[in-house]
Structures are given as C-alpha cells and as structure tokens.
Structure 1
Amino acid sequence: MSLGTNIQFYRKQKNMTQEDLAEFMNVSRQTVSKWESDTAFPETDKLITLSDYFGCTLDELIKGSAEENFTEDAAGYDKEMNSFTRAICLGTATVLAGVTTLLFTVVLGLDETIAAAIFMLFVTVGTAIFIVSGIRHDNYVKENPNIKPFYSVEQIKAFRNKLPAFIAGGTVLVLFGVIALMVMQSFVDKVVPDVMTEESFDALCAAVLLLCVTVAAPMFIYGGMQYAKYDIEEYNKENNPDKPFADRLMSAISGGIMLAATIVLFIMGFCFNNWELCWIGYPIGGVLIGIVNCIFGAVKK
C-alpha cells in the first residue's frame, strides 16, 4: 500500500474526516487530500507526527500495509477485554445477588446466622471473581501496555449502534423496580401486620428493587466496558508508564472509596446487625467516585 492509502486508512480508523486531520496537523484539507492521493508528500516532521498519532512506525506508515496491520490482533486484546468484561459483570451480579438474597432471608424469617452465611458466600464468590480477573487483567496490561489499533470503522460503528440497547434495557429494569416498589408500598396497610411484619415487608420491597438492579447493573457495565474496549487510544494513554500523577491519584482515591464502602458493609452487618442497609455504602461510593472524576477532570483541563 502507498503512503497516501495508509494515511487514509489510519484516518478512517480514527473516524476522522480530512478536515479533522487537517486541523490536527495544522494544514489545509487540500493538503491532506494531496497526501492521500499521493500527489504530495508530507514533510519529515509531519510524518513523525502522523506515525505517533496513528500508533505506527515510520516504516509502517511509508512502506507498510496499514490494512493488514489493523486486521491482526496479535496481543489477543479483544479476547482479553471481552473476558475481563464478563468477569466484572459476573462479579457485580454475584455480590448484588448476595444482598438481594439477604433481604429475602429477612422476608422468610431465616436465622440470622444462616442468612449471614449465605450472604458471605455470595460476597466471597464475587470477591474471588474480582481478584482473579483483576490480577489476570493487570498482568495482561503490564505485558501489553501499548496496543496497535486494529478495529475497523465498521466494527466500531456496529457496537455503537448496539450500545443504546444496553443503556435502555438497564434503565427500563431500574425504573420497573422503582414502579414495583411504589405499587407494593401502596398495599402496605393491607399486608402489615396481617400477612407479614413491617420489617419483612420493607425487606421484600427492597429485595424486589434490588433484584431489578442486579440484572440491570451488568447491562450498564457491559455496555460501558465494551464501549471503552474500542477506544484503544485511551487504553494506551491510560496504561502509559508516564501517566500523569493526577490520574494515578484519582485511581487510588477511587479504589480507597470502594474499599471504605466494603468496610462499612462489614461493620454495619456484623457489628450492628444492620444487613438491610449495609449495602448503602456502594451507591454512595459510586457517587463520590463520580464527583472525584469530575473534579480531577476539571483540574486537568
């Protein structure tokens, strides 16, 4: 393939127009058009900038075949990211299922020790999934901190067309849980205390809502992680050894927040026997992480 064909191919892989690339390179659109039609040759400094931006060597850009390079996933990136996504979804669903099961044990009036044991079983399995998949993924990232882009524009567009379905599906499930909760609350006077205690009824309402969240959460996670999978440029930037201190600090703070949420869960559950509300630290932690990301994002800008 010629230099012009390679430039055009790499540009399309980044979903850029000639105008976009021209703006990035500080040249006119006509100049980019001439490069791609091989009627003009970029200056040396422009070639270096192009190769750095496209994530290829000068030889690959000038003499190589961009299309052949892009179609090969030599590092097994796609397989690894799919596997990691499934593991995170499964781990999340397992932990949430544990909380849901705990609430149902309250409804059924099971012994607290048995209920706690069942809950801890779910949490243990979920935690094990997180640890094993996290270590494996971390090892992969260390071995492959830089991935050469290989997804085609068609592949990226195909997934982006599917993404709204995951978001809509998860949202509908959560809203369904909220509606179910509201409907159930309207029958509280007819159920309490004739059918069950107020504590059991509240636990049942929370369990129904959380059951919907348990199914919805993996849908959100899968959609988000798969969307990020196709952004190889961001993956390379995120795993750059020279990653800015602010980014490393943000990651550490986020991890600390979720660790604190887990500690709160155990303290509220085992020390105060408040298993119905011990999970509240996780959504609060999620909100705090969102705030931290917004603050650091604004500071970096």
Structure 2
Amino acid sequence: MSFRDNLQHLRAERHMTQEQLAMLLGVSRQSVTKWEAEKSQPEMDKLLKICQIFECSLDELVTGDLTGRAAPDAAATIPAGPPTDVCGYDEHQRMMALKIPAGIAVILVGIAIGLFFEGAHDLAPVGARDGLFVIIVLAGVLVGLAFLVPAGMEHAAFQKAHPYVEDFYTEDDRAKARRDFSTGLIAGIAFIFAGIGCLIMVEPMAENAALFFLLFFIALGVWWIVRSGMLLGRTNVAAYNKSVADDLEVEDIVAAEVDESMRSALLDRKRRSRKLEAVCGAIMIAATIIALALLFAPVLTAPDMDSWTPEGTSAMWFWVAWPIGGMLCGIVALLWEAFGHSER
C-alpha cells in the first residue's frame, strides 16, 4: 500500500476534503493534490503532522496498509456537507477579539486610575507629586501589553501555520455578526456618552474623579466597539487570506508549500507592500524635515533670542507637518491599491 492510497483512505474515512487537510497542514490544496497524484512528496514535518492528525505512525502512513484499520470515533471525523472550520480559525479570532480589546481597555483604565490619584501622595521629599500617577500609568501599560503582545505573537504563528482558510461562514453567521456589531457599537457609544455625562456632573466637585469616570467609561466603550468590530471582521475570511501576504516574510512565502501561481501572487503583493512602505517612510521623513525647519528657522533667524516667542511664527505650526504627512500616506496607499488592481 502506497502513501497516496493511505492518505486518500484516511481523508475519506474522516470525511475530509483536500482543502480541509491543506488548512490543517498549512499548505495549499494543490500540494495535497500533487501528493495524492504522486507528483511530489510532503516534507518530513508535514508527514509528522499528518500522522498526528490521523493518529498513525510514520511507518504505517508511508509503507503500511491503513485501509483495514478500525474507523475512528465520530468525534474525530469531519461531517460531510458544507465547509467547516477544521483549523480553529473561529476560536482563534474570538480569542483575539477578547485579548486585543482587553489590552487597550486596561491601558485606558490605568490612565484613569493614575489621574484619580494624581497629586494625592508625595513619593519623595521634593518634586514627586506626579510620581504615583506615572507609576500607575506604567503599570497599566505593562498589564495591557501582557494581553497585546502574546495575542500578536499567537496571531502571527496562526497565520504562518494556516496561510489559507476556506470560507465556512454562512449568510446567517454574517447577518448575526452584523447585528452583534450594531449592538456593540451602540453600547460602546452609550458608555462614552455616560463618561462625558459624568465629567460634566462631577468636574465642579472633584476634577480628578471626573477625569477618572470619563476615561473609565471610554475604556468600556472602546472595549465594546473594538471587540464587536473584530468579531464582525472575522467573518471576512477573504480579507484574512489577503492579509497573510502582507504579514508573512518573503522567506516564509518562498518556503510555503503552495503552487507556483499562488507563490508568485503572494510575492508580488509582498513586493508592492514593501514599495508602499518605502514611499510612506520617505513621506514621513520629509514631513519631519519640514517640521524641524518650521520649528527652528524662526529661532535661528530671530534678531533677539531673549525676546523671541513662537507666537505669530511658523514654529507654532511645526506639528502640522506630521498629520499632513499621514494624510498623504493614506492618499498614496489608496492610489497604490487602485493602481495595483488596475494592473491585474
């Protein structure tokens, strides 16, 4: 019995399509097709992963006969019918929709708590009334990063392991996600309005407490809005597949087991993305040079340095260069994307 026969039998036994097996292995469907046509062989790490998926040894898979083995439990099979989530995509995206908003909200809550205690205690005999504020804010940032950094690393690892995901969401799933997003958006805005209301009512009595309630409710609102948006975005599987080329490095794309047309498309998109990054980087460097010129030119040309003030000079507006640079980058990105699509 050959590897091809064993693989075909194991797939059929578990009601698994080539696309589903490819998603589990992090390769393209064309790679699985070539394996079953005996036009190529999987690498050792893929063979070991196949053994793990089908619960068999390497010898049994490559040289044995698995057709006579007892059928697996029903829980281990993939139901026949429409595409299903075989690589844990939905679970992964739901995890991201918890950790990312939580990290952002924790940072905002840390700032809120810091503002509440600002100036409340001296940490040193001289000049440390803001020290407690800084410590609390830094602690909030660290806790927030404890959510954000692992989530980003897990997402990068998931993308590398699953560069392509077959769309398994139904129209009912997407409609429910849209309804949930509308509810979350309204709830988030309501929390932000509640924070503004607290600011208006409490500020005359206690400014620090008013700022605390404002940022606390803003944190709740941001949590609802970001989470709802990410849960809605997870149903756009095509956008996920498209983003993989932007996030993976060139070495990962070259090493991926995909057909040549897909590899060429991914590399082309990566090259276009790097060109866009270079153009936007040049724009922001130019904006920085202009900002520094606006800031220091009036100072260097002033006849009397002691009486010089920024009012009425270009130094007042040096910061405008960066927002304008950011807007120019956005315009270039839109035109770049449109030009790329017209080329294709």
TM-score range, shorter chain: 0.5 to 0.7
CA distance in 1, matches of 2:209, 2:115: 7
Pick one of 131, 142, 150 that aligns with 1:124: 142
Cross-structure match for 2:190: 172
CA distance in 1, matches of 2:240, 2:132: 44
CA distance in 1, matches of 2:81, 2:170: 11
CA distance in 1, matches of 2:328, 2:194: 27
- Residue 136 of structure 1 pairs with residue 154 of structure 2: yes
Question: Which residue type is aligned with residue 202 of structure 1?
Answer: E
1:110/1:159 CA distance change after superposition, 3 Å: farther
CA drift at 1:97: 1.1
Cross-structure match for 1:219: 224
Question: Which residue type is aligned with residue 207 of structure 1?
Answer: F
CA drift at 1:179: 2.5
CA distance in 1, matches of 2:108, 2:224: 13
1:239/1:224 CA distance change after superposition, 3 Å: same
CA drift at 1:72: 1.9
CA distance in 2, matches of 1:233, 1:120: 38
Q: Structure 2: which 5+ runs fail to align?
A: 1-27, 34-78, 124-129, 246-265, 285-321, 339-344
- State how 1:87-106 maps to structure 2 within 5 Å: 87-106=99-118
Q: Higher RCO, 1 or 2 (CA under 8 Å, sep at least 6)?
A: 1
CA drift at 1:110: 6.2
CA drift at 1:140: 0.6
Cross-structure match for 1:235: 240
CA distance in 1, matches of 2:277, 2:215: 28
Question: Which residue type is aligned with residue 82 of structure 1?
Answer: R
CA distance in 2, matches of 1:88, 1:287: 29
CA drift at 1:143: 1.1
1:213/1:204 CA distance change after superposition, 3 Å: same
Cross-structure match for 1:86: 98
CA distance in 1, matches of 2:157, 2:86: 16
Question: Which residue type is aligned with residue 144 of structure 1?
Answer: H
When the two chains are superposed, the root-mean-square deviation of aligned CA atoms in Å is: 3.5
Question: Which residue type is aligned with residue 192 of structure 2?
Answer: V
1:98/1:296 CA distance change after superposition, 3 Å: same
Identity %: 18
CA distance in 2, matches of 1:107, 1:113: 8
Cross-structure match for 1:158: 176
Cα contact 2:276–2:333 (8 A) shared by 1: yes
Residues 227-265 of structure 1 show CA distances to partners (whole Å, capped at 9, x for unaligned) of 1100001111111333355545778979xx9xxxxxxxx
CA distance in 2, matches of 1:250, 1:78: 31
Cα contact 1:69–1:150 (8 A) shared by 2: no
With structure 2 as the length reference, what TM-score do the two structures score?
0.50
CA drift at 1:109: 4.3
Question: Which residue type is aligned with residue 237 of structure 1?
Answer: K
Cα contact 2:191–2:220 (8 A) shared by 1: yes
- State how 1:257-276 maps to structure 2 within 5 Å: none
More helix by share: 1
1:88/1:116 CA distance change after superposition, 3 Å: same
CA distance in 2, matches of 1:127, 1:287: 30
Cα contact 1:94–1:126 (8 A) shared by 2: yes
1:183/1:118 CA distance change after superposition, 3 Å: closer
Cross-structure match for 2:4: none
Question: Which residue type is aligned with residue 138 of structure 1?
Answer: A
- Residue 74 of structure 1 pairs with residue 53 of structure 2: no
Q: Structure 1: which 5+ runs fail to align?
A: 1-54, 61-66, 192-200, 258-284
Cross-structure match for 2:333: 296
- Residue 183 of structure 1 pairs with residue 183 of structure 2: no
CA drift at 1:165: 0.5
CA distance in 2, matches of 1:219, 1:247: 31
CA drift at 1:290: 8.1
**Structure having the higher Rg:** 2
Question: Which residue type is aligned with residue 76 of structure 1?
Answer: G
1:142/1:69 CA distance change after superposition, 3 Å: farther
Equivalent pairs counted in the alignment come to 198
Moved more, 239-248 or 90-99: 239-248
